[in-house]
Structure 1
């Protein structure tokens, strides 16, 4: 990475180490390919990793010292600028700096762009601003003013000696702010500065957890042993839905905390993990620190400070939480490790599950991957001996796995509802819903398609309404009266006439989305209390928590949802799950289509029958003989995954080979084609290497840019990064064009 040191000497991280004043290299959190040289001010010394502020053009930018006293000088000293100041923040630990370098090399990314994820909150580098609070300054009997009932309540609240902000004090004492100010003016209260409580701080005595079953105890003991060994190890915690995997890895969390270490838990959808947060607080007595995009800037600032100072002992977050500068990380848990959400598609295209393993290796710590439907990558790593595994084969507390049955839509066809029109629920599923509701139990319908209809077309001329910036159909969202593109965000009001033939009232919604399914359910069961759970209707942790709690309290009879209903929610009263389109996701050229569909439907099915009442799952399908559907019905997951693995091996696809996607894009189609052809002409030619393409991407136009794709495939034992660097060095990318490199691609749109 230019002049930056990939592996600074370990002595640089020893207590008391200080480099001699002179030249240092500073990596800035910007899309830059190397660290820049700066001079230290006189009488100043820093250690590698120190956070410093430096001039960059006319700006002041905070970066990290990447190398002290470098051996070579690209620029004469008299031309270098001086560091402006050393920030009051702990230096980035050695494993964090090594991780930034490793991720940059592996994904062919600018190191500065990776560092940006470790230094995402510039305001956190400033000293925290205190809040003013009040505490008692004298005994009540010595007050210089008359002691009214309101004033006495204020003093009683402050009798514990703790200082409180004025608003909090007035609220606790049930008085107006004027009463507090009056006591302060009279000298009865004194103002003191208080600093925000660090998020994720735990009590000294960690509570005991609930009793575990024999299989849970064995699995927990295995994970605890890995943590206590204080060495790198990866363990796959493989357990059926409802087997208590979370409580098992909580034992490992407790063991890491007992060693004085920090813990990171990665969740695929932090905004939808209200039940996980509640469960953690119930188990450990406090909330963990959180890190995700829904936090305010102030929350991100406080959390970053708490993490860097080791005050945040447990952090739960989305994938970006992996890059925070933990000084004492002792355990990483990746919950639902198979989830596609762990793959970052924009910016640096890293996979958080894979990088969690790398971060654990660099820190010499334990990593736990959990899933009821592990990815083929993790299963192959277990088979090859790179990962250990523990298994939970049964549900906790004697609950049984639900019975899964197919509904063949070729013979059990939906019939129109009088006064409503087209139906998408087969008679068999209708009857099951009626029986479930009549028994006072809850049911759920799953359809992984947002909005009202995935396509709008003209009945007169057949014209389909398409996004003007993408090769994608516009989706009708009837709740907000808009047509939307789910790829670029374009939205418009539905036109009154066809844009092509100008026929009036000719536009028809084709196919069902969850909004249309909700409309049908309300026509079929008008007395049932229905609720819709999709990313359009449930946004953020608070909204998700309220929704989940309403279902759990029995305020919802029939839940309709997209994939977010499959994310580990526990609904004790839910006994029936109906999958409206089990074939959705099986078509197309995605190499993971079968695996991902199986994982999603298995997770959805796992919501049923998690308490004492047995569950039932009905899958509407036009192809019940498909291997994915047969595996779900038979419950033979391992046989399905074995066949899936064998097919991948025969096709020479990951995880048995390595794959890199190169996506060319340009606002000009000719330019995109020309650059793609240039890449094809200079592609590497050697044994064990194959280049596929160029070809139009499935989304050939996205956000107004024409896209072409090439795939580089190599043997598993052949690293593609050196090949890519040599290949791309021959190519000059025009100004308007872009070349995006995605190592280990997960999606293929």
Structure 2
């Protein structure tokens, strides 16, 4: 090639042509450095016929490529996936490409890093802090900051131990190969049903063909053990596996289970990795040496060399939908990657989404069922507490029936989980004197009180402030009152009711890393926690055999608002949290506090009649032309200038095309009318399923121009309507 089309990592610039200098060799997928004005940017060589350039430039005007990185080219399946994702979700191709090249350091040659470890020597001068560090570090090796965190001491303590020879530096190759997992290590004893399902999945891996599966199994049925057999087959073939998890907090417990089955941990990929760890993982994956990767949704776009299996665990989870940047849904993109890679895709869930069920109904996905829990474990009994008939005491949030059940459970030496999907202490703080409500200055959202950190916080933009001593409106002191419960308030009530019980709060505020999740799991398994008070973070993936009672504090919370999936989400969430109870030999019980025990969602949860609930929900969606029977796309206009945003939204609304089978609603102020200091307006496009709504929106918006101070984004298949 003497001329190359390059997709560079700049969203504002399309693909550009460059001259390939004499002596340089490139091919489609090569990762290169290209000049753009005075800058040097990373890009990828692309097929010219698949990525049209805005302007054709003569050979004499081309600039030379500067460098080809020493990294494997991005494969054809990944390039096709990038094109599909950009086209379907109406995103700049460069923005999608950036997810495949997240670590610039990974593109450079070999590197080393200095880590530290204990030498076994004890210094003459031994302070309490140094003693603590030596006791806690054992055979741990890492950076000074990591060792200090692990030992719960300052960096200075670790540096002091280095100076006196108790800790020594070690030069480490940061691209050290990962030990390969062993498919024969720790093979499980499967039930007849599990063995039958796993054999079907193993055969699909052997066939090396695209086949999407829905692995539909009740909580505790052993879905992970079953798809691990398919992972083992991929390992035997020397092919790579990707397992997607919805939450970073689930990574550490999963790594432990994986290690028990395969002898070594897989490659982990999530936002908590340091740069050198991301580099090592990326290079192992791109070379094909890393056989199993477990990660969050961003792991989907990594450059796997030889992908043989994709697993999406907890596939119903809405957190697989990316809400910033490229608005993709990892579940759906995973299926497309499997199609391009010609490998099977397993969607594992105890409560599959209606969209996934419809694909099964159409014959596009094959359903495999695990209808019962593994071994002697049985599904928990579920009952409702009518908060109108059996209300909590004044100033309390736990009904007497739930309090009594908790007391009985603790008396048996068993563990309790209280679930409320609301972080903080209280969702609203106001002045009892003048009624002033504390609102975020950057968003149209109330500030949430967090008493553990003594802050009022916005859960949308991250703004925090200390609670003032006096009301800013009327200057009355000691007049602020918390309204409504969050998990911290429930935990306070638990401490009052059960002062001897050991309580843990599990939210994204307390479990913000895989290490924190591992610490929590260890304490639960060791019996050091009696009562867990948690949000949706605790609803999935955890297995605690001694946890026998689950109390849902406010089951109606998820039904608020105008979300078309509200009933389905509530059903999934409560079923998932109910699934934490009775996973061992001891029977489990679930109590659901609700003001509407006769609603279809609550009746389905109590009776266990999921099929009737899903049938009714599916029919309601069909009648409304809602997904999966129709299509939605949100168009969000935002600007720091309210009038500019409003005028632009109005102009986009006025120019909406008239297309048969498509309706445009709005513009209207978004429910979150201001977010992170930007005023927001929304339009909602509703179209029949067969309509290529992306082409319509692309032509519609492509014909318009707006101020650079205005941001217009499109969310195809939206999950959030805020």
* TM-score between the two structures when normalised by the length of structure 1: 0.87
- Report matched runs for 1:466-545 at 5 Å: 466-545=439-518
CA distance 1:435–1:177, shift in 2 (3 Å): closer
SS at match of 1:326: coil
Q: Does 1:369 align with 2:347?
A: yes
**Partner Cα separation in structure 2 for residue 354 and residue 470 of structure 1:** 31
Residue 398 of structure 1: how far off its partner (Å):
2.0
Corresponding residue of 1:98: 80
Residues 440-497 of structure 1: CA distance to partner in whole angstroms, max 9, x if unpaired? 1111111111101000111112121111111111100011111011011111111122
Residues 198 and 312, structure 1, Cα contact 8 Å, conserved in 2: no
Residue 580 of structure 1: how far off its partner (Å):
0.6
- Report matched runs for 1:512-591 at 5 Å: 512-591=485-564
Match of 1:710 among 683, 686, 709: 683
SS at match of 1:709: strand
SS at match of 1:699: strand
**Partner Cα separation in structure 2 for residue 494 and residue 130 of structure 1:** 47
Match of 1:645 among 596, 608, 618: 618
CA distance 1:71–1:632, shift in 2 (3 Å): closer
- Report matched runs for 1:390-429 at 5 Å: 390-416=368-394, 422-429=395-402
- Report matched runs for 1:629-708 at 5 Å: 629-708=602-681
**Partner Cα separation in structure 2 for residue 132 and residue 340 of structure 1:** 40
Count of residues paired in the alignment: 679
- Report matched runs for 1:573-612 at 5 Å: 573-612=546-585
Corresponding residue of 2:279: 301
**Partner Cα separation in structure 2 for residue 293 and residue 259 of structure 1:** 30
Corresponding residue of 1:334: 312
Corresponding residue of 1:440: 413
Residue 67 of structure 1: how far off its partner (Å):
2.8
- Report matched runs for 1:40-59 at 5 Å: 40-59=20-39
Greater radius of gyration (CA)? 1
Residue 667 of structure 1: how far off its partner (Å):
1.6
Residue 512 of structure 1: how far off its partner (Å):
0.6
Corresponding residue of 1:12: none
Corresponding residue of 2:259: 281
**Partner Cα separation in structure 2 for residue 614 and residue 479 of structure 1:** 34
**Partner Cα separation in structure 1 for residue 576 and residue 178 of structure 2:** 30
CA distance 1:591–1:177, shift in 2 (3 Å): closer
Residue 193 of structure 1: how far off its partner (Å):
8.8
SS at match of 1:542: helix
Q: Note the residue ranges of structure 2 that are not aligned, 5 or more in a row.
A: 116-120, 123-140, 145-160
Corresponding residue of 2:432: 459
**Partner Cα separation in structure 2 for residue 607 and residue 629 of structure 1:** 18
Residue 746 of structure 1: how far off its partner (Å):
0.8
**Partner Cα separation in structure 2 for residue 598 and residue 179 of structure 1:** 59
Corresponding residue of 1:62: 42
Corresponding residue of 2:290: 312
Residues 32 and 113, structure 1, Cα contact 8 Å, conserved in 2: no
Residues 103 and 279, structure 2, Cα contact 8 Å, conserved in 1: yes
Residues 239 and 308, structure 2, Cα contact 8 Å, conserved in 1: yes
Q: Cα RMSD (Å) of the superposition?
A: 2.4
Pick which of 431-440 and 73-82 moved more.
Answer: 73-82
Residue 194 of structure 1: how far off its partner (Å):
6.8
CA distance 1:125–1:224, shift in 2 (3 Å): same
Residue 255 of structure 1: how far off its partner (Å):
1.2
Pick which of 36-45 and 368-377 moved more.
Answer: 36-45
Q: Does 1:77 align with 2:55?
A: no
Corresponding residue of 1:356: 334
Corresponding residue of 2:105: 123
Corresponding residue of 1:140: none
Residue 678 of structure 1: how far off its partner (Å):
1.0
**Partner Cα separation in structure 1 for residue 528 and residue 162 of structure 2:** 39
**Partner Cα separation in structure 2 for residue 577 and residue 489 of structure 1:** 31
**Partner Cα separation in structure 2 for residue 33 and residue 546 of structure 1:** 46
Corresponding residue of 1:159: none
Q: Note the residue ranges of structure 1 that are not aligned, 5 or more in a row.
A: 1-19, 134-148, 151-163, 168-175, 181-191, 417-421
Residues 495 and 501, structure 2, Cα contact 8 Å, conserved in 1: yes
CA distance 1:200–1:654, shift in 2 (3 Å): farther
Residue 206 of structure 1: how far off its partner (Å):
3.5
SS at match of 1:724: helix
Residues 420 and 553, structure 2, Cα contact 8 Å, conserved in 1: yes
Residues 9-46 of structure 1: CA distance to partner in whole angstroms, max 9, x if unpaired? xxxxxxxxxxx3x1101111221452111111113222
Q: Does 1:213 align with 2:191?
A: yes
Pick which of 604-613 and 269-278 moved more.
Answer: 269-278
Residues 659-710 of structure 1: CA distance to partner in whole angstroms, max 9, x if unpaired? 1000111222222221111111111212211111111111111112111111
Corresponding residue of 2:125: none
Corresponding residue of 2:303: 325
Corresponding residue of 1:228: 206
Match of 2:241 among 245, 256, 263: 263
Residues 253 and 542, structure 2, Cα contact 8 Å, conserved in 1: yes
* TM-score between the two structures when normalised by the length of structure 2: 0.91
SS at match of 1:24: strand
Q: Does 1:107 align with 2:89?
A: yes
CA distance 1:490–1:349, shift in 2 (3 Å): same
CA distance 1:38–1:638, shift in 2 (3 Å): same
Residues 23 and 68, structure 1, Cα contact 8 Å, conserved in 2: no
SS at match of 2:40: strand
SS at match of 1:585: helix
**Partner Cα separation in structure 1 for residue 181 and residue 619 of structure 2:** 49
